[in-house]
């Protein structure tokens, strides 16, 4: 079945931005190194955010995006999970579905007691490599962070890339957990940000 892209240039930029991330390297491997499949995964994540979270794009679509998952009802969360499984199976294959479930299942267990169901989750942040270092990452994150602050909500993220941690720390995120993810065979960190007073 053909996948219909809504954000092809942004998905491409996100893939390039996340090329060194262990999660995306593992997902690409599970998709037989088919970069088109990984682009589809990232495009789907943006479409998913429109329905169940928040999507912030750069002024130019090929520069990057921030993808948030926000708290939803149990019924909507089940619908979201079912749709994600159907996408993975249909457009990336059973190996990709099993790989995704293994990784996210482990990370979900690790997050218990560290984050809560009301937290806003920064799922993906990526800036095209040629556009990095220009302040675009902060520009993408600040609208949602301000909204979370106004709502009194904590935010969290997970990163396999320790070099990114200082950037997130400058925005108020604090590393609160480190774990070794066995499917990716890589360490990652959970960072959480308490709501800030303006």
Per-residue pLDDT reduced to its tens digit, 59-84: 999 999 999 999 999 999 999 999 99
- Distance CA(45)–CA(67), nearest Å, equals 7
pLDDT of residue 2: 86
Burial class of residue 108 (count of CB atoms within 10 Å of its CB; 0-12, 13-18, 19+): exposed
* CA distance linking residue 130 with residue 47, whole number of Å: 24
Write out residues in the chain with pLDDT < 70, as ranges: 1, 198
What is the pLDDT, as a whole number, of residue 115? 97
Assigned token pair, 57: 């794009």
pLDDT at 198: 64
The answer to whether the CB of 65 falls within 8 A of the CB of 14 is yes
Expressed in angstroms, the distance from the first to the final Cα of the chain is 48
Tally the C-alpha atoms within 13 A of residue 72's C-alpha that lie toward its C-beta.
Answer: 19
Task: Output the pLDDT for position 197.
Answer: 83
Please report which helix (H) or strand (E) contains residue 158, including its range. strand 155-159
The most distant pair of C-alpha atoms in the chain lies apart, rounded to whole Å, by 48
């Amino acid at each position: 079945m053909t996948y219909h892209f809504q954000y092809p240039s942004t998905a491409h930029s996100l893939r390039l931005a996340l090329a060194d991330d262990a999660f995306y390297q593992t997902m690409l491997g599970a998709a037989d190194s088919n970069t088109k499949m990984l682009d589809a995964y990232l495009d789907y994540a943006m479409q998913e955010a429109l329905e169940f979270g928040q999507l912030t794009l750069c002024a130019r679509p090929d520069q990057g995006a921030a993808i948030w998952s926000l708290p939803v009802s149990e019924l909507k969360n089940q619908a979201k999970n079912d749709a994600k499984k159907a996408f993975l199976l249909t457009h990336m294959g059973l190996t990709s579905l099993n790989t995704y479930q293994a990784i996210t299942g482990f990370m979900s267990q690790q997050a218990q007691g560290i984050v809560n169901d009301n937290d806003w989750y920064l799922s993906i942040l990526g800036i095209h490599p040629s556009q990095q270092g220009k302040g675009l990452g902060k520009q993408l994150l600040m609208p949602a962070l301000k909204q979370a602050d106004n709502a009194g909500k904590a935010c969290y993220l997970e990163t396999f890339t320790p070099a990114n941690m200082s950037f997130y720390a400058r925005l108020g995120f604090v590393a609160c957990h480190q774990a070794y993810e066995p499917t990716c065979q890589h360490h990652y960190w959970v960072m959480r940000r308490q709501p800030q007073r303006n």
